[in-house]
A = this chain, B = another copy of it.
Amino acid sequence: MLRSINQRRILSNRYTFIGGTQGAWRVVRMSSFRGAGLRAVERIDIVTGDAPVPRADAWSLHGFTSNVRYGTRAEVTTLAARQPLLNRPEAGCAALIPIKKSAAWWGLPQDERRAIFEETSRHTAIGLEYLPAIARRLHHCRDIGEPFDFLTWFEFAPQHAAAFDELVARLRATPEWDFVEREVDIRLERVE
């Protein structure tokens, strides 16, 4: 019992994005939409599981996948039917968008965050319009002392890059984005 409780489980829900000189994704553009940016890097490496040892030449951002926080049964069912998997051969483009929301957002009760997220801003409804072209994995990181609250990873084929730009612009124009105080936008292409 002693051993089983002190021996941590494998963190199968943990992902680390390492910005440096290694990895399968080449950075083609990095910009700050709001707040401080991140140091420019050549590549991003994605590591699954427990946090790797920090490398001197790189930064790293950690996040974890988790349960649904806002979605209703109807929304989750519709999303599940339309959303593609990651790692599609044709999806040679990607984006990593780290976001930090304000203390005002996190101080809101659940019903008011939900109302801003969907009833007002149509976050899921807008996203659904771009499926199945754009694959997505959301990582949470506010609770583990990271500089951002979310890291969202997107993958799409080159011919959907303009649609992805439109999606991001539409979300940034919503009332939900009034609560975003830092956002970095990193665009990538898969290294052949």
| A contact set with B: CB distance below 8 Å | 1-2, 4-6, 8-11, 13-14, 36-39, 54, 59-61, 64, 66-73, 75-76, 106-107, 109-112, 114, 140, 142-147
Contact = CB atoms under 8 A, between A and B. Distances in A.
A99 to B, nearest CB: 15
B66 A5 contact: no
B143 A73 contact: no
Copies of this protein, total: 2
B145 A6 contact: no
A116 to B, nearest CB: 12
* The 6 nearest A-B residue pairs measured at CB: A72-B111, A1-B39, A9-B145, A5-B59, A11-B145, A76-B109
B109 A145 contact: no
Contacts of A8: 145-146
Contact of A110 (B59, B60, B70): B70
Contacts of A75: 109
